[in-house]
Amino acid sequence: MQGFLTRVFIIVLLAAGATLLGTGTASADTRCQQTNKSTGECILWVETGSPGGGAGGSGGEGKPAGSTSGPKDSGSGNSCYWDPAKQGVGGPPAGPVPCTSSYGTWSNDRNCYVEAYDPPPPPGDPAWEGHEPDDGAVYNCYQPQTSLLVTFWSQTPPEAAEAGPSPREVALMAIEKMNLRAIDIGITPEAGEDRVGLVGMPVWLWVNDPGPSTFGPATASASAGGITVSATARVHEITWDMGDGTQVVCRSAGTPYEPRFGKRKSPDCGHVYEKSSAHQRGEKYTVTATSDWVITWAGAGQTGTIRLGGLARSVDITVGEAQVLVS
């Protein structure tokens, strides 16, 4: 059969001025490993076809995302799978299969184990489909799921499914289509030279105009190597680094502030500064919001979860001391 093949898919995720995420193994959360400094894009490399075959995860070390709570990263997925829909049969259900067996090497495209006909049929046999013995070869295609055995001719050895991407790697291709990016920050006081907050006054934090690409849910599908995977992405939580040594973790998009709320605290996502920003560089606090995403995927009769961290955006705000008026 055909020798081991390695393919590299290059995926560019638009960061929209934010730090984005890269690829990791199935047992580690993911974070951007290489960013295009001129465009702010994150380059995500997915290397497929590991010599072990079948269940290889994506390449790269993988670094922990900001959150350790919520669903764990799981499921690299086997690159070889059975799909009854391709044969129009009711079962058995779709799912992973061993990439090699005594029947040959699994082919996702043909939905069977493929092995060269040995010995080859004699010249003129219908199995050659009108071709000469020195022009390709005849192969057996066996489905243990249905006990179906057929023969076919091919000029070149059929590609083994284990040389293709795993379902997780196809899920990463689906994530690329989502154009996930950092949130647009909503905050009081607003950023700007003439916007000043006060020590002891509630600061409200929220996702400004949340949408599929900044907060979710975002959905997309991708196909490669005979595998189709659908993925859904949602923000699990947002970590707000307030610039004064504290962090606020919010599980919601927050509540936009309105003047009618007065001096009330945010019901779901807020902070109170105890010192002014006068001692900070530029006399401002830098507030950074970092999104932690959870993506669930399903395909080829398999499922998994991908944790993506590192989407961040920052703003600078001024916090001053309240002035005491003396008559």
What one-character-per-residue DSSP string does 166-183 give?
-HHHHHHHHHHHH---PP
325 assigned to some structural domain: no
Q: Could you tell me if 140 and 179 lie in one domain?
A: no
Q: Could you tell me if 64 and 175 lie in one domain?
A: yes
pLDDT given at position 190? 79
Q: Could you tell me if 208 and 253 lie in one domain?
A: yes
Q: Could you tell me if 156 and 213 lie in one domain?
A: no
The per-residue pLDDT string of the chain (327 residues; one tens digit each, 9 = 90 and over) reads: 333 223 333 333 333 333 333 333 332 344 444 433 333 344 443 322 222 222 222 222 222 344 557 788 888 888 899 988 888 888 889 889 999 999 999 998 899 999 999 999 999 999 999 999 989 999 999 999 999 999 999 999 888 888 788 899 999 999 999 999 999 999 998 766 567 788 889 999 999 999 999 999 999 999 998 889 999 999 999 999 999 999 999 999 999 999 999 999 999 999 999 999 999 889 999 999 999 999 999 998 899 999 999 899 999 999 998 763 343
Q: Could you tell me if 116 and 170 lie in one domain?
A: no
2 assigned to some structural domain: no
CB atoms near residue 245 (< 10 Å): 7
Q: Which two tokens stand for residue 78?
A: 């086997």
Q: How large is the greatest C-alpha to C-alpha distance in the chain, in angstroms?
A: 112
Could you give the dihedral angle defined by the CA atoms of residues 34, 36, 39 and 43, in that order, rounded to the nearest 10 degrees? -50
Answering whether pTM is above 0.75, one says no
Q: Could you tell me if 148 and 201 lie in one domain?
A: no
Q: Could you tell me if 179 and 297 lie in one domain?
A: yes
Separation of alpha carbons 102 and 100, rounded Å? 7
Last residue of a domain, one of 148, 163, 178: 163
Domain that holds residue 140: 81-163
Q: Which two tokens stand for residue 257?
A: 């502030």
Quote the number of domains for the chain. 2
150 Cβ neighbours under 8 A, 6+ residues apart: 112, 140, 141
CATH number of the domain at 39, please.
2.60.40.10
How far separated are the first and last CA of the chain, in Å rounded?
94
Q: Could you tell me if 211 and 250 lie in one domain?
A: yes
Minimal CA–CA distance to 287: which of 314, 309, 249? Answer: 314
326 assigned to some structural domain: no
pLDDT given at position 85? 84
Residue with tokens 């993911």: 30
Q: Could you tell me if 155 and 172 lie in one domain?
A: no
Do the bridges between strand 227-241 and strand 285-299 make them parallel or antiparallel, or are there none, so unpaired?
antiparallel
Q: Could you tell me if 145 and 280 lie in one domain?
A: no
Q: Could you tell me if 179 and 196 lie in one domain?
A: yes
50 assigned to some structural domain: yes
Last residue of a domain, one of 163, 178, 197: 163
pLDDT given at position 307? 94
pLDDT given at position 192? 60
